[in-house]
Amino acid sequence: MPSPALKPSPLSAVDNLPNSPTDLEEDVASVIAPLDSSGFEQSLVLSPHKANTEESRWLEEDASDSGQGALVSVQSTRLLLALPEPRPDTASSTNLRSSACPASPTNGFGIALRWAALQHTSRQGVEPKSTRQSSLPTKYRRRSHSNMVEREGAPHRSQDVHEVAEMLRGLQAHQSKKGGKGGFSCKKNTFSVVGSDITVDSWRMQDWDYKKPNLPTYARGLFTTTNSKGNPEIVVRGYDKFFNHGEVRKTEWRNVEQNTRGLYELSVKENGCIIFISGLEDGTLLVCSKHSTGPREDADTSHAIAGERWVDKHLATVGKSRRDLAFKLRAMNATAVAELCDDEFEEHVLAYNPETAGLYLHGINLNLPEFVTYSGKEVDRFATEWGFKKTMHLIEEDISQVKTFLDKVAETGSYDGRETEGFVIRCQARDSSGAPWEDWFFKYKFEEPYLMYRQWRECTKAIIAGKPPKYKKHKDITEQYLQYARRRLHENPEIGKLYNQNHGIIKLRDDFLAERGLKGSDIIRQELEAGEETGSAVTKDVVLVPVATIGCGKTTVALALAKLFHWGHIQNDNIQGKQRPQRFASKICETLAEYPAMIADRNNHQRRERKQLIEDVQKIIPKAHFVALHYVHDRGNFDQIRQIMRERVLSRGDNHQTIQAGSKGQEEIIGIMEGFLHRFEPVNLERDPDDGFDFVIDLDVTASSRENLETVVARLNSEYPKLFGKMPTGEDLDNAIEAALSDYKPDIKHEIGDRGSNKSKGKNNNKQQSTQQNGAAQKPKEKERKPEYFGITLPTSRITSILDAVFQAADAESAKMYRILHSQRRVQSEFHVTLIHRASAGQSPQNQEYWDSLVGLHKNARNAEGADVNAEIELGQCKVLLERIVWNDRVMCFVVRLNPVDGSAMEWRSVNPMAHVTVGTADQSIKPVESNDLLARWLKEGSGPQTGIMETQVKGYVELPGSVKPFLQRS
């Protein structure tokens, strides 16, 4: 029923309340929320529309602060409030005293509540609210010091309008694509809420930005709105972004041991997608995925809609409604956080059958800029009350107990009889000694059997596509699985079609395991017992591949390893002449004939470099073992990394093959280093070519070379014990580093061009010195061709396959233009997204700056490769999301969105009004640039017979890998 109208009065009385007790109970919609350990059991929390009144807010906050409360019931036309007295440990009695006050329409609900509250406060000797400094209990103020696991009852705190407004100002200041002064970028999307007039804003930052200090908030999953009073408020608040153990400095075990405190709550990490649930002020239940709500045009069923359906199912089991849950969460000022696990909707790695599918409630967060969350005990209590599934969790008192437990479970990836992806550890942490304690999470993800499952998935997709499967680990069982998969795919080709749509992946895997009578954890256990898959048999053909930038200390560590173990060491800077990448790989293979292991000393900071090295070496040594020495460029620690690397490079003077800091100016050196930092692409074992590494050793750029050397030796000995003879002592490690630092003198020195410099070096310089970072002797005589435009190339086969699939299912009229393009060979042979054209550079200062930066990146990348002057070198990578296809009778194109590659510092953008990929034009007289005109008309006039423009969605989430490169002028 609609809420009664509010009549302004000194007491904010609510007039025209219904006389029916039943109606009044529904209208009050009061709920009871547990208080903290202040000695009182309950606190009155009012329904959202009642809490809008000054009196209601007064009572609610006063009760939360002083411990007063009221159990509300309605009998006839009288409102009865049971006022709790102190428990025995705080006073003399536990009896409830009842007081009554007329609740008639004439004196109003607000008067009754105020009367009762004044009676109670006077009995308890509590000062009126206006004389107290704060209505917020000390333990729940900003930067709470109480441990979430130790709290008795649930935390509560109302939103502070000024805090929320300050947070939003910080986010709004960084909405530009380039990011603001604070070094992060933020995107806002506005959504209409189905069944409500309210709109909500979703705020999204890049994952790596969460590693940076002093953000307005660290909430990953944040929705805000403006309420009926015109005030900003948070309506959905996810967890602070939390990281895997060892992923950032704060989650390294030595820091976890020093800067966290128990109790430690370990909850099983469910394998699904996250769903947020909260209540809006009009009683609407808001259900969101991580960054959106409601239906989506590019999917038949969005994650949010799937979540809503499961909410309805769970509520039905306890006889409650969406409105009930909305009022409850609104009163708590909280967001319920759940994992949607439903294989019929979307498969992940772990299986959820119809009996185990649903929403697993694993958190309740207060809607505040800072992170305050409920304990697992309170979350379970809420899940039981509202019909949600519960996650398993346990409590440990000491961090050493946590580590022992997790390491044991990690051996098989199985806990309590079921396979699990890992655990989320909830505790409190501080940034440093003496800093305040805060609620904090980190995760411990298990590698196995999930890496094995992912390997099977990628191998299956490879054989469906007719490609040879690539796998490094679990070789015997993987070969057995692939034999089984090939047989099943041959028997039923429909399995392959569904597999490529991410359906049937788990079933095929589980069918194989069932035929063998095994579980994934059994396989891992058997391999461990047999000594398999641990690298214990590796004795030769090991290639250590640094992934670094200038100043990380890679050569120092490489020299020390070569001295300690008499391994090979090849420096890319010593290779001169043309085709240097291929010759570098050949030299590595020659070295492996003499040494059991060698270090491929090159930056390898981009995926294309790692791909070239791995593929070229495997052509000669197919069973070579590649290990990445990954110098982690932690975005949260980027300023310190940059400063330390500069100090190293500038202090060594000319004792380097390509960066002679003693001869070059400091500004030029820093420019070169910045170019490498921007192009750095971190290792990702789940993507090609990094899935070719046996394993990755993460190294700390800010640590000393001595520390990193010890890390490398320890991990290599753990993975490849037979590669070593007698292990070095600490003194041996010290001596090796000392020798690397004092004895090393570069054999050959080269020049590298300054970032963005367009000045010619002159003919004499070309004859007298190398101009490449990696040692090319002289510039080719051919005339240098300048870039005509920069763009992102896309895989042609993927684009054509998508076009064929889209228009094969379309009606004749919709498919007509594509059929014409296809039959007349007017579909382009190559596809790209134009970032900026030479002609566009001078149209604005921003465009000119962007053009110059890309020209500088191209020059430095070309020099770093030692490539020919007219080589179209890859500058980086970008993900391209295909959203729609738009066309008329002249031109057809994709509308796309550009997304940065995970971990990359570069965010590529197109200066065109709308990023697009031209599919083809009707005849040679129509230039591809006409796509811009088409899209401008489409945005303004829309599609349909009246405009002559047609459009269709690209169903699903189709994101293609793209290569950023220059397109040079024709000679």
Same domain assignment for residues 714 and 815: no
Task: Report the CATH number that the domain containing residue 601 is assigned in CATH.
Answer: 3.40.50.300
200 domain residue, yes or no: yes
Q: For 827, which DSSP code?
A: B
Higher per-residue pLDDT: 109 or 409: 409
Using alpha carbons, select from 433, 717, 700 the residue that is nearest to residue 564: 717
Same domain assignment for residues 575 and 697: yes
Contact by Cβ (8 Å): 854, 836:
yes
Q: Where are the alpha helices (DSSP H) in 771-844?
A: 796-808, 812-823, 838-841
Question: Residue 50: pLDDT above 60?
Answer: no
Q: How far apart are CA 314 and CA 501, in angstroms?
A: 29
Q: Which residue has the tokens 């003198």?
A: 745
Give residue-wise pLDDT tens across range 672-696. 777 777 788 888 877 788 888 988 9
Give residue-wise pLDDT tens across range 341-400. 876 666 555 556 667 788 889 889 999 999 888 888 889 899 999 999 888 878 888 899
Residue where a domain terminates, one of 380, 411, 445: 445
Question: Residue 509: pLDDT above 90?
Answer: no
Q: How far apart are CA 350 and CA 419, in angstroms?
A: 8
Q: Where are the alpha helices (DSSP H) in 607-686?
A: 607-620, 638-651, 666-679
Question: Residue 663: pLDDT above 80?
Answer: no
Q: Is 61 strand, coil or helix?
A: helix
Give me the pLDDT at residue 132, please: 29
Give me the pLDDT at residue 783, please: 77
Give me the pLDDT at residue 110, please: 39
Question: Residue 809: pLDDT above 70?
Answer: yes
**Where does the pLDDT of residue 118 fall: very low under 50, low under 70, confident under 90, or very high at 90 and above?**
very low
Give residue-wise pLDDT tens across range 60-81. 333 333 333 333 333 322 333 3
Query: 288 - beta bridge partners?
Result: 276, 293
Same domain assignment for residues 525 and 546: no
Higher per-residue pLDDT: 17 or 404: 404
Question: Residue 37: pLDDT above 80?
Answer: no
Contact by Cβ (8 Å): 159, 233:
yes
48 domain residue, yes or no: yes
563 is catalytic: no
Q: How far apart are CA 538 and CA 542, in angstroms?
A: 8
Contact by Cβ (8 Å): 629, 705:
no
Give residue-wise pLDDT tens across range 839-849. 998 888 888 98
Same domain assignment for residues 470 and 510: yes
Question: Residue 599: pLDDT above 90?
Answer: yes
Give me the pLDDT at residue 103, please: 35
Give residue-wise pLDDT tens across range 690-713. 888 988 999 988 888 999 999 899
- The two structure tokens encoding residue 591: 């070295």
Burial class of residue 644 (count of CB atoms within 10 Å of its CB; 0-12, 13-18, 19+): middle
- Strand 625-632 relative to strand 695-700, pairing: parallel
Contact by Cβ (8 Å): 71, 42:
yes
Residue 447: Cβ within 10 Å count: 14
| Overall number of domains in the chain | 5
Give me the pLDDT at residue 604, please: 92
Query: 547 - beta bridge partners?
Result: 630
- The two structure tokens encoding residue 638: 């980027």
Listed range (282-286, 631-635, 756-760) with the worst mean pLDDT: 756-760
Q: Where are the alpha helices (DSSP H) in 824-916?
A: 838-841, 845-865
Question: Residue 405: pLDDT above 50?
Answer: yes
335 domain residue, yes or no: yes
Give me the pLDDT at residue 918, please: 96
Which uninterrupted H or E stretch holds 886?
strand 876-887
What is the DSSP secondary-structure string of 769-787?
A: S--STT---S--SSPPPPE
Question: Residue 722: pLDDT above 60?
Answer: yes
Higher per-residue pLDDT: 153 or 374: 374
Question: Residue 920: pLDDT above 70?
Answer: yes
779 domain residue, yes or no: no
Same domain assignment for residues 111 and 125: yes
Question: Residue 951: pLDDT above 80?
Answer: yes
Q: How far apart are CA 790 and CA 910, in angstroms?
A: 9
- The two structure tokens encoding residue 730: 């600490």
N-to-C CA span, the chain: 76
Question: Residue 658: pLDDT above 60?
Answer: no
Angle, vertex CA 55, rays to CA 50 and CA 59, nearest 5: 90
- Please give the residue range of the domain that contains residue 222: 161-445
Task: Report the CATH number that the domain containing residue 383 is assigned in CATH.
Answer: 3.30.470.30
Give residue-wise pLDDT tens across range 812-832. 889 999 999 988 889 998 999
Q: Left if phi > 0, otherwise alpha if psi is -120 to 50, otherwise beta: which for 183?
A: left
Which uninterrupted H or E stretch holds 222?
strand 222-226
Question: Residue 891: pLDDT above 60?
Answer: yes
Q: How far apart are CA 801 and CA 230, in angstroms?
A: 50
15 domain residue, yes or no: no
Give residue-wise pLDDT tens across range 621-654. 988 999 999 998 876 677 788 888 888 887 765 4
Task: Fill in the amino acid letter for 758.
Answer: N
Contact by Cβ (8 Å): 278, 236:
yes
Residue where a domain terminates, one of 530, 559, 583: 530
Question: Residue 228: pLDDT above 80?
Answer: yes
Backbone angles phi, psi at 647, to 5 degrees: -60, -40
Same domain assignment for residues 412 and 362: yes
Same domain assignment for residues 603 and 721: yes
Contact by Cβ (8 Å): 568, 594:
yes
Using alpha carbons, select from 348, 505, 511 the residue that is nearest to residue 421: 348
Give me the pLDDT at residue 652, please: 61
Angle, vertex CA 618, rays to CA 613 and CA 619, nearest 5: 105
Same domain assignment for residues 343 and 485: no
Query: What mean pLDDT is reported for the chain?
Result: 75
Strand order in 199-205's β-sheet? 186-192, 199-205, 222-226, 232-237
Give me the pLDDT at residue 182, please: 46
865 domain residue, yes or no: yes
Same domain assignment for residues 792 and 912: yes
Give me the pLDDT at residue 645, please: 85
**Where does the pLDDT of residue 120 fall: very low under 50, low under 70, confident under 90, or very high at 90 and above?**
very low
Same domain assignment for residues 523 and 572: no
Q: Which residue has the tokens 């199985």?
A: 414
Contact by Cβ (8 Å): 557, 709:
yes
Give me the pLDDT at residue 299, please: 52
Question: Residue 430: pLDDT above 80?
Answer: yes
E strand map for 552-617: 568-571, 597-601
Q: How far apart are CA 460 and CA 518, in angstroms?
A: 19
Of 212, 269, 473, 965, catalytic: 269
Contact by Cβ (8 Å): 347, 506:
yes
12 domain residue, yes or no: no
Query: What is the SS3 string spanning 148-159?
Result: CCCCCCCCCCCC
Residue 125: Cβ within 10 Å count: 7
Give residue-wise pLDDT tens across range 317-344. 999 999 999 999 999 999 999 988 876 6
Task: Fill in the amino acid letter for 459.
Answer: C
Q: How far apart are CA 662 and CA 690, in angstroms?
A: 36
Using alpha carbons, select from 903, 644, 630, 700 the residue that is nearest to residue 251: 700
777 domain residue, yes or no: no
Residue where a domain terminates, one of 530, 561, 591: 530
Q: How far apart are CA 629 and CA 167, in angstroms?
A: 39
Residue 671: Cβ within 10 Å count: 18
Same domain assignment for residues 493 and 641: no
Give me the pLDDT at residue 536, please: 60
**What share of the chain in percent tops pLDDT 70?**
73
Give me the pLDDT at residue 660, please: 45
Higher per-residue pLDDT: 669 or 540: 540
Q: How far apart are CA 479 and CA 463, in angstroms?
A: 12
Contact by Cβ (8 Å): 415, 266:
no
Using alpha carbons, select from 411, 409, 369 the residue that is nearest to residue 142: 369
Backbone angles phi, psi at 781, to 5 degrees: -75, -20
Give me the pLDDT at residue 904, please: 63
Using alpha carbons, select from 964, 72, 798, 185 the residue that is nearest to residue 806: 798
Please give the average per-residue pLDDT across 28-56, as a whole number: 32
Please give the average per-residue pLDDT across 830-841, as a whole number: 93
Task: Fill in the amino acid letter for 877.
Answer: Q
Give me the pLDDT at residue 213, please: 78
Same domain assignment for residues 440 and 460: no
Give me the pLDDT at residue 78, please: 31
What is the DSSP secondary-structure string of 393-432?
A: EEEESSHHHHHHHHHHHHTTTEETTEE-SEEEEEEEE-SS
Q: How far apart are CA 283 and CA 673, in angstroms?
A: 55
Give me the pLDDT at residue 670, please: 77
